[in-house]
Amino acid sequence: MKIQSVLLLAGLGMMGNALADAPRNPISVHVLNTQTGKPSSGVKVDLEQQQSGKWVTLASKITDKDGRIGAFYPEGNTFSAGQYRVTFHTGDYFQQQHQSTFFPDVPVNFQVSNTQEHYHIPLLLSQYGFSTYRGS
């Protein structure tokens, strides 16, 4: 019984290492409603990349119950350096909350220079203001 337990734990340890070595999706977002102090679930967010002087949509997703989109960059696409933009459709979110807002959309442009890094874009949101920064 002890040998089986040791082997099981060793196997789980190797699986953990394999998961840690797996490539992580390079872009994620998080939306927090600062008025309520709670995550903003159900916010539509678009991811675009500037290509040949035009914005090209790469993905459109909805934040989960924790206000997150953890794997935003499309699987199978090569992550390249360049200009990107995430647009948070906050007007739709506040309408669902039966509230008005001054900012119906919040576009956040950012520069990817190192494709080996992770880019996390959090949005702190209220009806009449917002803040963003590069998260980790």
Distance (Å, whole) CA 77 – CA 89:
24
pTM higher than 0.95 for the full model?
no
Cα atoms in the Cβ-side hemisphere of radius 13 Å centred on 91: 7
Structure token digits, residue 40: 């903003």
> Which class is domain 25-132?
mainly beta
Q: Which residue has the tokens 């590069």?
A: 134
pLDDT at 6: 46
Structure token digits, residue 115: 């494709």
pLDDT at 113: 96
Q: Hey, CA dihedral for 21, 23, 26, 29, is it positive or negative?
A: negative
pLDDT in tens, the chain (136 residues): 555 554 444 555 545 554 455 568 999 999 999 999 999 999 999 999 999 999 999 999 999 999 999 999 999 999 999 999 999 999 999 999 999 999 999 999 999 999 999 999 999 999 999 999 999 8
